[in-house]
Amino acid sequence: MTATIMSREEYLRQDLDARLPNYEKDGRLYDIMVSQQFSRGFLETLFDIADRINAISHQPGGDDFLASLLRHKRAMLYFTQPSTRTFLSFLSACQIVGMRTGEVRDPSLSSEVKGESQEDALRTFSSYFDLIIMRDAKPGFCEYMAYLQQFASRNVPIFNGGSGKDQHPTQALLDVYTMHRSFQDRGGISGKTYGFVGDLLRGRAVRSVAYLLTRYSGIKMIFAAPVEFQISPELESYLVEKGIAVQKTDSLEEALPQVDSLYMTRVQDEYDVSGESSRVDYTRYHLTCENIRRMKSDAIILHPLPRRFEIDPAIDSDPRAMYWRQLRNGMYIRAALILYVFGMEDRLAEFGGM
């Protein structure tokens, strides 16, 4: 009997808990779609894998060993929404573990110009490649493609590299991995105060990392934003339900002395409908060499990048600035995720140069 396939609208109307099992295979994560997939135990496992990849890569012969692990696999980077950092981070991660790559970054140069649907394009990619990493402006599209893969003759894992305004799960992984490494000698991620600043309503990175931080205990989150771009009621309710202490404010100055981690964001004006971003004064949400003095001496400053004017470049040399380190951490955590999905993480123990 032919299976009934739901439309994207029907599929996404289901509760997330009903969709999550679709992204697992043989009891392991297979498709990487949303931050809610990641348990605390999974995070600890993944951070350990990333640490080992990092360490091996700095040993003689380490790069060649890592590049041998998935030399037999190929990855397609299908990025129909503009990206520099996420694209290059995934490309570098694939290269670290030896995967050959293909890419489509401009649909005008693909068969979509001839009328091919994106659904058919993904089916084509799954015939040639073993992993699809995709970024698309349509909310929920990556999830729906992962669902459709169940009905394909060749089901390959799909990674969400950013999906509309909804989520960016691997960005959250590298953010929390950076927090993990920064706070290793200070009791870890639990029990700390995390500040988020800027366009918090439309920032998918903020939403994803906030979901992920609920896996830890004793967390307080401070959201400093213009009233027009404060976090959604849905996200606030979710956090409170998970036991997170939530403080909302329109004052960056109020948040600065309290936070152990400050997550700065840019204005997400690509989602403007009628120029609403231009009607908001963001100058009060700039981090400067002067107001940074109000922060704790051992706090960290994060940013998913790109930045515009929200962080003074002079702050880059401050030891609390971790946003450039975030980039490098992203390469290792994504390489770790690829090894995990292909069940190759145990092969790291074979390296004899440690």
Question: Residue 168 catalytic?
Answer: yes
| Identified catalytic residue from 4, 58, 114, 283 | 114
Neighbours of 74 (CB within 10 A): 16
**Rounded to an integer, what is the distance from CA 332 to the centroid of its chain?**
13
Q: Which of 135, 207, 215, 266 is catalytic?
A: 135
- Tell me whether residue 181 is one of the annotated catalytic residues: no
Structure tokens at 19: 């969709």
Based on the number of CB atoms within 10 Å of its own CB, is 286 exposed (0-12), middle (13-18) or buried (19 or more)?
middle
Question: Which of 19, 73, 80, 86 does the annotation list as catalytic?
Answer: 86
Asked about 114 being catalytic, the answer comes back as yes
Active site residue 320: no
- Give the Cα-Cα-Cα angle 80, 83, 89 (nearest 5 degrees): 115
Catalytic-labelled residue, pool 168, 204, 215, 334: 168
Q: CA angle, 288 as apex, 171 and 328 as ends, to 5°? A: 30
Which structure tokens are listed for 177?
């991995």
Contacts for 117 with CB less than 8 Å, ≥ 6 apart: none
Tell me whether residue 74 is one of the annotated catalytic residues: no
Written in H, E and C, the secondary structure of 43-61 is HHHHHHHHHHHHHHHCCCC
Which of the residues 74, 85, 248, 320 is marked catalytic? 85
Instruction: Please give the positions annotated as active site.
Output: 85-86, 114, 135, 168
